[in-house]
A and B are shown apart, each in its own frame.
Chain A
Amino acid sequence: MDALFDILGSANFWAAAIRIATPLIFGVLGALICERAGVLNLGIEGIFVAGAMAGWLAVYLGAGLWGGVLVAALAGALFGLLHAFLTVILGLSQHVSGIGITLLATSVSYFTYRTALPDVTSPPRIAAFQPLNIPGLSDLPFIGPALFQQTPLTFLALVFVVLVALVLYRTPLGLAIRAVGDNPASVEAQGLSVVGLRVGAVVAGSALMALGGAFLTMSAFDAFFFGMVNGRGWICIALVVFASWQPGKALLGALLFGAFDAFQIRLQAQIGQVVPGQVFLMLPYLLSIVALILVARRADYPRALLQPWTKGQRH
């Protein structure tokens, strides 16, 4: 019990929880935008890898850090465009296309990395984002190190939560996006383009996912490793269901997940002698599965999710 309070009482733990949550916030928001428009994007895992690789490589080749972020987002948008072409314009299976995008984005990233850096034995490093020092807030006792000593990308993620929520619920565009995932016929009746809205949502969502990857190589670490994404994308797909497709709950889900992950890492340091390390590493995946099972029955899926749309279609 003392161990529990020691962990929860350290600023370091809360800072880690937010750090671990950051790529998931980007990923869940991205997946949420795609699914709200009616398109499941299983390309997320590969788009994470592409964002991580492209952002890192751009910085390594001399672009600034924010230039790297832009390159990562563009890489994500490009794979999103391909997914949108296959699933929205051609109306093909969203499952198969998503898996294909994941395989393609992953192999393109690995191939590019190997080709650009054929001779390296240890991954080269870049000067990654450093924690911001916010005057007044970062120096507060406990609260400062716990909440306000994060890198700019973490704050960007939080800005996006607000932005996505505002757009989805307070603008005509958001209304159209939500409608296109629920009842595309009503959108067409308004004279709006179902295909255009869906393509736009998938491209924008994929760009956000790629930022989650970029956070890994440009903020959490300062290098690119093979296998570093390690299922984070799939976890985001589970978290979207858990968050009932709402940005606020998505933030909450990602933070809960981050707190849990940070907690298990610290617990591992304390009782790791008794329990094998792999048990702790399994917990995040098992937690995602359990979360999915708990909410599945009540989940309010966008009603047109997975359903392709052809112009002038009648039901």
Chain B
Amino acid sequence: MSFRLEPREHASVGLKLTVSLAAGIVALLLVAIPVLSAGGSPIEAYGLMVQGAFGSMFALSETLNRATPLILTGLACAVAFRAKLWNIGAEGQLYIGALAAVCVGSGLLQLPPALMIPTVMIAGFLAGGLMMVIPTIIKQRFGADEVVITLLLNFVVILFIQMLVEGVLKDPLSMGWPQSVPLIAEAKLPKLLPRLRMHWGLIVGVVAALILWLMVRKTVLGFEIRAVGENKAAARFAGIPVDATMLKVALISGGLAGLAGVGEVAGVKGYLSADLSPGFGYSGIVVAMLAGLSPIGTVISAVFVAAVFVGADSMSRATGISSYIADLVVALSLLCVLVGSFFLRFRVKFERRQVGA
């Protein structure tokens, strides 16, 4: 028996879903190897992870709380990658968004919550967006690759935030901890349910996904983004303003990552510190790829990735297996979905070789 590869014209939604689902499952199965090598039982570990992520109302709230920034950074990557703009700087954009939230929301403006919350969100969106517009302009003007620049800017931004929370923004009442002055009560995002950490940022994330989904399908900008992503030269030839479209994508992408930062400050912590994000920006890349860059899919894959992290934390406490297992699952999911994308591009045809041929 032999096989050959045939290029596919079009991959169906069902096939894409199957590939994403299979990637997650294969990643989880592969992680059985390190669990075994650490002396644990994979079945028990998976059970504890599911329980830790979904086993109670509290667990579910923690998972959705963790998914909230991941939805937004995932959308940030999804929209950029669709236009083949490689934004690897969501981590830095998240911090800049959070910084803008603190600048606007810690007493500079005194507005009722109905005005204050949108103001803080717009500030965070614009600041995060600007953080991506700059590398995009550099790419367009100087031809410098945005991948390396956005990656390096992440380190610059974190140091900048450290400098601020140890300096001008430092809370004098923080007992010496490097954290910023807190947001005023009017700027904080309300909790969704009493005594649970889930907050309105989750709704913002889901609504953003819906808006993006509509935008990609129904608007001129969505059409332009798809055209630029598929073939830049052809898009330019067809009269699409490629550079302007890229800048809009950059603003939206960075802005969404900025909103993730607003959510963490205004919904969870209440202040800015240099350990606000445990890599939400980088996980956003995985979330977007797992979702096949689909906005609605991003919400689902963000919950999956969040569940892996929350579940692994809880499993780690019970078994002593390192919680870095979650990072392993996430990294393997990305590589598995990448391998899966091979099957979206090609159809594998098996052929029985004829006798005597």
Contact = CB atoms under 8 A, between A and B. Distances in A.
Nearest to A103: B331
Interface stretch (A18-26, A91-99, A137-145, A186-194): A91-99
A282 B34 CA distance: 36
Interface of A: 42, 82, 86, 90-93, 95-97, 99-101, 103-104, 106-108, 110-111, 114-115, 118, 230-231, 234-235, 237-238, 241, 276, 278-279, 281-282, 285-286, 288-289, 292-293, 296-297, 299
A292 B144 contact: yes
A92 B341 contact: yes
A288 B38 CA distance: 40
B330 A296 contact: no
B142 interface: yes
Given A99-B88, A293-B144, A115 B339 contact: no
Provide the main secondary structure of the chain A interface: helix
Given A235-B152, A278-B163, A285-B152, A100 B142 contact: no
Nearest to B168: A276
Nearest to A279: B163
Contact of B143 (A115, A281, A289, A299): A299
Contacts of B334: 96, 99-100, 103-104
A47 to B, nearest CB: 13
Given A86-B339, A92-B342, A293 B142 contact: yes
Interface of B: 34, 37-38, 86, 88, 138, 142-145, 147-149, 151-156, 159-160, 162-163, 166-167, 282, 285-286, 289, 320-322, 324-325, 327-328, 330-332, 334-335, 338-339, 341-342
Given A93-B338, A103-B330, A115-B37, 12 more contacts: A95-B86, A100-B338, A104-B328, A107-B331, A111-B324, A111-B328, A114-B322, A285-B156, A289-B156, A292-B148, A296-B142, A297-B143
A279 B167 CA distance: 12
A56 to B, nearest CB: 17
A313 B174 CA distance: 64
Contact of A278 (B154, B162, B327, B335): B162
Contacts of A278: 159-160, 162-163, 166
10 contacts: A92-B338, A96-B285, A99-B282, A100-B338, A103-B327, A115-B321, A231-B151, A278-B163, A286-B156, A292-B145
A281 B144 CA distance: 23
Given A86-B339, A92-B342, A238-B152, A282 B160 contact: yes
A241 B142 CA distance: 13
Contacts of B142: 293, 296-297
B2 to A, nearest CB: 15
A293 B148 CA distance: 11
A253 to B, nearest CB: 14
B335 A100 contact: yes
B328 A108 contact: yes
A107 B328 contact: yes
A311 B291 CA distance: 31
Nearest to B154: A231
